[in-house]
Structure 1
Amino acid sequence: MRRRATPSRTPLLPVLLGLSFLLLASLLGGVGLGAAGLGWAEVLWYLWAGLTGGTVHADDVAAYTIVWEIRLPRVVLGAVVGAGLAAVGVAVQAMVRNALADPFVLGISSGAAVGANAVILLGAFASLGVWALSVSAFASALAAMALVYAVARSPHGLTPLRLILTGTALAYGFEAVTTVMVFGAARGEAARSAMMWLLGSLGGATWAQVPLVAVTVAAGWVWLRLRAEPLNALAMGDETSSALGVRPARLRRDLFLVTAAVTGTVVAVSGAVGFVGLMVPHVVRMLVGADHRRVLAVAPLAGAVLLVWADVLSRLLLAPAELPVGVITAVVGVPAFLLLMRRGGYAFGGR
């Protein structure tokens, strides 16, 4: 009898240490690289001054502002968003038992786009000032979550097929509304800003956005990590998970609420960044195996590193103009995903 190929399992500790070091180096690289030509010595000095409260010479205020108020919050937010999308991607693929699932399959990002574009194109919620975009996107994401939940729910709870079909169908509806807004708006900077948001951008990152997103992502990751064993059972099917003492309908409902909340929070500040939540879980499974205890430990670090460098490239390739970060993740993600499909011994989403 032919034996099934077993995915290789790299020891977990070296992977975690290596990715942690790589993330730290990526954060420093993301702050040091940009359209403004600042030397590494200057960048390190401004970072030290910001961390210790050191005095900055009047001639250096502009450069210090670039490093501490523009680049650093953007890099930190990119790492948090990448970590959140990767962790949620792992959970969603287990929840719906579909290898093609990602955080946006639930229709949450498309719903958030309606609120974001209402601000960008129609000037809605202008009284909220700089918070208008994030608040509107998050509120519409919550509304989309509630609608998906209400439509997908059945007497048997949330089943994978109903979730995927409902999320996909409503996503098309939300995208149609967004398209009408874009085509109905006056051509110019507003339409360009709307397209940037739809493809993902960290250009509006501020320190004020970081704490809420970081706390939400961290809380969501801890909740998922504590349920790694039930996720292992759920990934094997409802009958198997029930036999192992897991209540699949209840767990799937809780997963939906947690992943939707994290996705809505992340999308509200970064736009719809694709491919991170789809690709990173598969890469991590290929590296450390399919056990969710291991995958959920590694995936956030990998997602953070990926999005930090994707954002760096989005800033540098057409400097001083910027590309949407979602374009970079797609350019990297598509060939990587195709290579994964061609690689022998790896079953997408399998154990």
Structure 2
Amino acid sequence: MSESAMPSAARRAAAHAGIATARQRAALLLLGLIVLSVLLAGLGASVGSTGFDSVLRLADDPLAARIVWDIRLPRSLGAWLAGALLGLAGAVAQGLFRNPLADPFLLGSASGASLGVASALALFGVAPATVWLVKLGLTGAAFAGAVLAVLLTLQLARGVQHTLRLLLAGVIVGVVLGAVKDLITLAAPDIIPSMQGFNLGSAGFIGWASCVLMAAAWCVCALAAWVFSRALDGLSLGEATAASLGLPLAPMRLALVAVLALATGTAVAQTGLIAFVGLAAPHLVRSMAKVTHAWLVLLASLMGGVLLMGADVLARWVIAPQELPVGVLTAVLGGGYLLWLMHRRTGQGGVL
């Protein structure tokens, strides 16, 4: 081998070794998140206002069995599924907008969901024409509001061709719909307590039906995100580079926006507004393993599930038998982590 070829061969060997190490870390992280999810699910099924008594009397007391199987377990699994949807949506949003500070609510879905809930609460029972709203329920109203907000963002941005225009349209739609929601709340002040509960977030009303719905949405979104992960990898190199690779950017962007809307709308409809999970989960994954988006969407989804289920367990445990809003815990913990990360990266001369 010539001397000029030796450095090239060494670089290739180092690159292959780095790829192998990254895959090993990703596999270990995947295994660790699965194990942690199972442990947290068991802990979540054991923690409640009655302490651990229900688990200890599970075999002998039908009421204890009902508490564990019909209340605690679906709540814990539902929190994991909602967190998994938000984590997946966060990874897609950050890849789509090429911005590590992007979160699942950037396209106005949070404000749309809040407006849907406020509208449903204000109109329930007002007139016979609103009976269909009663049948639809707050969950359907929140999901419909989130999806309509995303569609309005797409209309305002004139499609998905320009990422910056899409981002700005999402911000505008979020502000406008948030203002409309506030006007409805002022006009019907009796809905304020219910809206406060929705805005703070909670997994307390999740049942088995909600778990099945979120599991189905997660399967669809995870499969679609994995299929279009190559587009996210291309976009991370810049739009010109992605186009030079022959990727059909417009239809791929539209599909990714649909994934983002479905994942976010489904999660928000079941749990209310949960802050920072979709933003922090991809960051945590990247800090532990350098992976492509095919791995990132899966690992960020698992990380989001672990974060929200862990926060839900803490919400029930910290001041039991009372309960903290889970959205407050995720905001405090997630915001604290991101502030620490920003401080560390700034000290090293970097950014998020």
TM-score normalised by the chain length of structure 1: 0.86
The letter for the 2-side match of 1:142 is V
Determine if the alignment matches structure 1 residue 179 to structure 2 residue 182.
yes
Offset, 1:275: 0.3
User: In 2, distance between residues paired with 1:317 and 1:253?
Assistant: 42
Q: Which residue of 1 aligns with 2:53?
A: 39
User: In 2, distance between residues paired with 1:84 and 1:251?
Assistant: 19
Change (3 A) 1:245 1:347: farther
Q: Which residue of 2 aligns with 1:316?
A: 317
The 8 Å contact of residues 232 and 293 in structure 2, kept in 1 or not, is answered as yes
Q: Which residue of 2 aligns with 1:50?
A: none
- Structure 2, unaligned runs of 5 or more: 1-17
The letter for the 1-side match of 2:63 is A
Q: Which residue of 2 aligns with 1:229?
A: 230
Q: Which residue of 2 aligns with 1:304?
A: 305
The letter for the 2-side match of 1:309 is G
Runs of 4+ deviating beyond 6 Å = none
Q: Give the CA RMSD over aligned residues.
A: 2.4
Deviations 1:159-192 (A, max 9, x none): 11111111111101111122222233345xx422
The letter for the 2-side match of 1:146 is L
Offset, 1:126: 5.5
The 8 Å contact of residues 54 and 68 in structure 2, kept in 1 or not, is answered as no
User: In 2, distance between residues paired with 1:230 and 1:83?
Assistant: 21
Q: Which residue of 2 aligns with 1:200?
A: 201
Change (3 A) 1:76 1:172: same
Offset, 1:302: 1.0
The 8 Å contact of residues 121 and 191 in structure 1, kept in 2 or not, is answered as no
Higher helix share: 2
Offset, 1:129: 5.4
The 8 Å contact of residues 234 and 242 in structure 2, kept in 1 or not, is answered as yes
Q: Which residue of 1 aligns with 2:330?
A: 329
Aligned counterpart in structure 2 of residue 151 of structure 1, from 156, 173, 177? 156
The letter for the 1-side match of 2:172 is A
Offset, 1:82: 0.5
Change (3 A) 1:151 1:297: same
State which drifts further: 294-303 or 34-43.
34-43
The 8 Å contact of residues 111 and 141 in structure 1, kept in 2 or not, is answered as yes
User: In 2, distance between residues paired with 1:248 and 1:212?
Assistant: 30
Q: Which residue of 2 aligns with 1:21?
A: 35
Q: Which residue of 2 aligns with 1:134?
A: 139
The 8 Å contact of residues 114 and 174 in structure 1, kept in 2 or not, is answered as yes
Deviations 1:198-225 (A, max 9, x none): 1211121111111111111111011111
Q: Which residue of 2 aligns with 1:239?
A: 240
User: In 2, distance between residues paired with 1:261 and 1:230?
Assistant: 19
- For residues 1-351 of structure 1, the aligned pairs below 5 Å read 9=22, 11-39=25-53, 41-42=55-56, 45=58, 60-123=61-124, 132-153=137-158, 157-187=160-190, 190-344=191-345
Q: Which residue of 2 aligns with 1:53?
A: none
The letter for the 1-side match of 2:158 is R
Offset, 1:264: 1.1
User: In 2, distance between residues paired with 1:129 and 1:63?
Assistant: 32
Offset, 1:258: 1.7
Secondary structure of the structure 1 residue equivalent to 2:209? coil
The 8 Å contact of residues 114 and 142 in structure 2, kept in 1 or not, is answered as yes
Deviations 1:35-75 (A, max 9, x none): 112337527x46xxxxxxxxxx5xx2322222111111111
The letter for the 1-side match of 2:168 is L
- Structure 1, unaligned runs of 5 or more: 1-5, 47-56
Larger Rg: 2
Q: Which residue of 2 aligns with 1:54?
A: none
Offset, 1:309: 1.2
Offset, 1:347: 6.0
Offset, 1:121: 4.2
User: In 2, distance between residues paired with 1:72 and 1:83?
Assistant: 16
Secondary structure of the structure 1 residue equivalent to 2:252? helix
Offset, 1:339: 1.9
The 8 Å contact of residues 119 and 126 in structure 1, kept in 2 or not, is answered as no
Change (3 A) 1:234 1:347: farther
User: In 1, distance between residues paired with 2:102 and 2:340?
Assistant: 18
Identity, in percent, stands at 36
User: In 1, distance between residues paired with 2:326 and 2:241?
Assistant: 40
The letter for the 1-side match of 2:56 is E
The letter for the 1-side match of 2:150 is M
Change (3 A) 1:135 1:153: same
Change (3 A) 1:186 1:195: same
TM-score normalised by the chain length of structure 2: 0.86
Offset, 1:137: 1.2
The letter for the 2-side match of 1:172 is V
